[in-house]
Structure 1
Amino acid sequence: MGSVLEDAATGRPLWGVDLATLTGALSGEARFAALRADAQEQAADAETARRSPLTRVRATGLLAKPWWLPVLQGLDPYTETVRALHGVALAPEAVAPFPYDWRLAVAYNGALLARAARTHLTRWRERVAARPEWAAAGARQPRLHFVAHSMGGLVVRAALEQDPELAADTRAVVTVGTPFLGSVKSVLALNLLHAQAKPGRLVRRVQAMAATLPGVHDLLPGYRCLDRGLDIERLTPGDVARLGGDRDLASRSLAEHARHRANGFVLPGHRAVVGEAQPTMQTLDEQRGRAGLAVVAGRQHAFDVEAAGELVRDPATGIPARRDASGDGTVHLPSARTGTEAVTYVYGQHGTLMRHDEVLRQIRRIALERPQGPHLGDGTGDGPGLETPHLGGTFGEPLILTATGLDSPAGATLSVRSATTGRPGHPLTLHRAPNRTDGALSASFTPDAPDLYRVTLDTGRHTPVTQLVLVTPPDA
């Protein structure tokens, strides 16, 4: 979701510019309708990108202001990331942002990235060759260094798989919160209409859009995630269609997961930055909703699989053994790692990782080829976590905000402020959360206006954990 999109014919902004797209009664309807993928966009693949790139929607830049979607939640801009890379590059022109139409297939965008990266590398090498003083100062033959967040890591993998020569010219790939095995949140986004008794205006628009998008289907979990009680199954295209998605798009995406399991492509110089300790949906429990519609609920536990592919089971009951694998609130830990990379763990939410001080520090260190710094996390999932309403809030109704992983509220503060104006809010008082058995702490916040709010949990010992929450006016 991190690229600004516009209508190529009219220049009308469609995504990432005007918050009224998310909160408006009428204007958002037309924009969400325009974001739905048509038949040509759904069929676009790597060959399409190489021969005849699509032109209906244009990606104009990286996100420059906070954004938000139901279920997928908040996303911070990439301004701080670009600034951090400028600070360690030989010159600002060495850094090339790559906005892309995230609605479309990963393979399509990978082909576009491969071409853009080759063009950029060629031009930069020419620039370096024309500056003999840089060579005298020890500048080496330039190679590529990718820094990618979320789906961006999948796009980088696609680009390097499609172009082995580009992979050979790549020094390092840094992925931050990339769902290599997918995320169950993509299924929850497709299932929105089924799951909500009275879906709100924004929820209806998002589901209608998501059901048409190859990009959303490319985030489907490829691991065993559907809890059948005595067995845990992988999703099938029929499952996805029953839960609100598109059968054909799901078939293509799940086939890609199977191909990656078989091939095991290794990203060159891969370093993964992984968020942990955040309450994260990891598997799905299917139920029956109103009118017989299939409904899935996300569960905060995963299942281990032995080397032979068999589920780890409780020896006494034979029931699959459940455990909380933790994650960044969107991507659980096993999905954010490929098993062949160096990993840095941080306490942070998926959409706000790219402005997280520790993530920025690691990105700079990796770019400078310095040894990895000390980790904030350790991969165990123990640490401060933040949980906010994944469907947002409605003006006039209180939001329940929850802090996890804390022994007590002593020394911890939870605060809310406007993410659009910076208007500060007041610290909230944390109490033991009712109806929770994990010792979580919670606070209630009643917003005074529809807005995008930033929630911050500060323990005084770690980099603060933040998340964004959209509060909309009541539906008419």
Structure 2
Amino acid sequence: MDKQRQHSAHEQGCLNEQLPTHVTQDAVIIVPGIMGSELRDKKSGDVLWGLSGVRWLINAWTRPQGLKRLHLTEEELTGSTDRIEATQLLRHSAWTPYLRGQEPYTQLQEAVTGYVADPAAICEFAYDWRLPVATNGKLLAKRAREHLTAWRQHPKHHAAVQHRADQRPARLVFIAHSMGGLVTRSALDGSHHDDLAADTRTVITLGTPFYGSVKAAVILNTGRGAPVPLPHRKLQKLCHTMPGLYDLLPLYRCLRQDNDVTRIDAGLVKDLGGNPELARNSFDFHNSQHSVALPDHRSLVGTRQATWQSLTLTNGKVETHFDGARHNSDGSLIRDRAGRITYFSVQGDGTVYRDSAARSTHLSTVPIQHGDLARAEASLDAVIDILLEDEPQGPPLGEPGCGISTPDLVETGQTWQAVAEHVDSVHGLTCTITDTTDNQSRPVRVAMQDGYPAAMITSQVPGLYRVAFHTRDGHTVSQLVLVAEPGLEKEEVD
């Protein structure tokens, strides 16, 4: 018996020696955003979303049948989830019209791995983002409990507990990007098999649209009254019956009508071109979530990027605006002396405007686009600070970084602009363009164009390219642009 105890003590000492100086004993769950999980056909094993290679990506969006198998079937709309499975988090850069680039989660996973006691402490929760947030929330609740139980029984967990000043058992840390924050909130709503919130130390959300995004309404409306490129039309067809997209519709007062601003409802969603029943189900679900508190919630919010905040609907066609109404302390809208509504540009991450993502009292801001929030160095630094129970230092004093504006889709041989916003000089500003296939980068000259620093870019080879501006204060902001072959077909919604 004494020999067994000596052996156990020696083994425990070896485990402690292997731990880095800064490490957490907690269990981490990474929850991706919409289109951030690889999806496979269970029967054939075919990857339906998330394959590597630009050729696959271009074919998916430019061939009429490229995404047909992702469309929800009647059986799936009535609750069956046996046809498609989510297998892993996105491992390759991807692209979606309007939502633009989805960056892979590999760098987030690698960063977190350096600060946990063992890779087994990390759970990457892939999910079928086509389905309702509520459905995926239930699956996450079950998976999170299983993960925490397994990690608490792991030898490295016991070593980490002894290694930390606070020698408590592991709790859960959720790191959720975009829609993943809504899935996490659903998992913690207390209606599942146990009180998962009691075992959760903190929830870190990266650009989560707690109050929705105008882009979701635009996607449902795409092409009504005007021809649009085939990729944009294909996204509209895919999302028309996709409950996950309806869960991203704006919940705040964003619809401009005469001299008022109202919320959108199921009837208006029908006018947009969407499915009113799916909209109604989504609004009911969000109403049930208002009272759900996220334990020690930390919000990381993208800023300095031009972001749609409101919309008008005229004859079935949406017009978007980069500003929105705000209200007084009594709930009334702020108006000028003539009684007209005053509109404010709050900006955001290019997809989610700042106030929609800033639900927490613990708020950190970074000048980053939405798709890059789970990859950029500034984001990863903030996540690690929170993981180690430190307060994020935040950006330097003053307005950091810059915004970036690019088209989402261009053709080979076409010259297009990447514009740096909120900077008035090219001094200290550089630009690079990177082919995501081989990660080869080249510099692009930045010059003043119509009063703004801009880079003029021409790509002769189809592909997915990352355009980045690097500012003199050390920030990088990037955006993905898909370059396709000439002659993209255009369609108009009936």
When the two structures are superposed, what TM-score results if normalisation uses the length of structure 2? Answer: 0.86
CA contact (8 A) 1:272 1:343 kept: yes
TM-fit CA distance, 1:33: 1.2
Aligned to 1:274: 301
Secondary structure of the equivalent of 2:65?
helix
CA contact (8 A) 1:401 1:444 kept: yes
Does 2:404 correspond to 1:386? yes
Secondary structure of the equivalent of 2:124?
coil
CA contact (8 A) 1:180 1:335 kept: yes
TM-fit CA distance, 1:140: 2.4
1:363-374 mapped onto 2 (5 Å cutoff): 363-374=383-394
TM-fit CA distance, 1:345: 0.5
CA contact (8 A) 2:368 2:403 kept: yes
Q: State the Cα RMSD in Å.
A: 2.1
**Identity value in percent:** 37
TM-fit CA distance, 1:460: 2.0
CA distance in 1, matches of 2:238, 2:55: 17
1:287-326 mapped onto 2 (5 Å cutoff): 287-288=314-315, 294-314=316-336, 316-326=337-347
Aligned to 1:201: 230
CA distance in 1, matches of 2:50, 2:396: 31
CA distance in 2, matches of 1:310, 1:26: 44
CA distance in 2, matches of 1:80, 1:25: 25
1:164-243 mapped onto 2 (5 Å cutoff): 165-194=195-224, 197-243=226-272
Deviations, residues 197-246 of structure 1 (Å, cap 9, x unaligned): 33222222111101110001100000011112401111111211221211
CA distance in 1, matches of 2:470, 2:185: 35
Aligned to 1:421: 438
Does 2:38 correspond to 1:4? yes
Summarize the Cα distance change of 1:115–1:10 in structure 2 as closer, same or farther, 3 Å threshold: same
Aligned to 1:443: 455
CA contact (8 A) 2:401 2:471 kept: no
1:462 aligned to which of 469, 474, 494:
474
CA distance in 1, matches of 2:60, 2:100: 20
2:171 aligned to which of 143, 160, 165:
143
Aligned to 2:48: 14
Summarize the Cα distance change of 1:376–1:43 in structure 2 as closer, same or farther, 3 Å threshold: farther
Secondary structure of the equivalent of 1:88?
coil
CA distance in 1, matches of 2:341, 2:42: 50
CA distance in 1, matches of 2:139, 2:437: 32
Deviations, residues 126-159 of structure 1 (Å, cap 9, x unaligned): 114x875444434521110000000000000000
Aligned to 2:114: 87
CA distance in 1, matches of 2:68, 2:60: 13
- Worse-matched range after superposition: 115-124 or 295-304: 295-304
CA distance in 1, matches of 2:363, 2:158: 37
Does 2:379 correspond to 1:362? no
1:42-53 mapped onto 2 (5 Å cutoff): 42-44=77-79
Deviations, residues 3-51 of structure 1 (Å, cap 9, x unaligned): 011111101111111433432289954341111112333344xxxxxxx
Kindly provide the amino acid, as one letter, of the partner of residue 322 in structure 2: Q
Aligned to 1:436: none
Secondary structure of the equivalent of 2:268?
helix
CA distance in 1, matches of 2:157, 2:137: 31
TM-fit CA distance, 1:265: 2.0
Kindly provide the amino acid, as one letter, of the partner of residue 385 in structure 1: G
Secondary structure of the equivalent of 2:101?
strand
CA contact (8 A) 1:366 1:372 kept: yes
- Worse-matched range after superposition: 25-34 or 267-276: 25-34
TM-fit CA distance, 1:376: 4.8
Does 2:335 correspond to 1:335? no
Q: Larger C-alpha radius of gyration, 1 or 2? A: 2
Secondary structure of the equivalent of 1:209?
helix
CA distance in 2, matches of 1:224, 1:377: 32
TM-fit CA distance, 1:443: 2.9
TM-fit CA distance, 1:285: 2.2
CA contact (8 A) 1:382 1:405 kept: no
Kindly provide the amino acid, as one letter, of the partner of residue 122 in structure 1: T
Aligned to 1:30: 65
Summarize the Cα distance change of 1:472–1:459 in structure 2 as closer, same or farther, 3 Å threshold: same
Any stretches of 5+ residues in structure 2 without a counterpart? 1-34, 490-494
Does 2:273 correspond to 1:244? yes
Deviations, residues 300-325 of structure 1 (Å, cap 9, x unaligned): 101102233221111x2211110101
CA distance in 1, matches of 2:417, 2:78: 42
Aligned to 2:365: 345
Any stretches of 5+ residues in structure 1 without a counterpart? 45-52, 289-293, 434-438
CA contact (8 A) 2:429 2:446 kept: no
Summarize the Cα distance change of 1:165–1:258 in structure 2 as closer, same or farther, 3 Å threshold: closer
Summarize the Cα distance change of 1:285–1:131 in structure 2 as closer, same or farther, 3 Å threshold: closer
CA distance in 2, matches of 1:327, 1:120: 34
CA distance in 2, matches of 1:265, 1:134: 31
CA distance in 1, matches of 2:150, 2:400: 46
Summarize the Cα distance change of 1:475–1:93 in structure 2 as closer, same or farther, 3 Å threshold: same
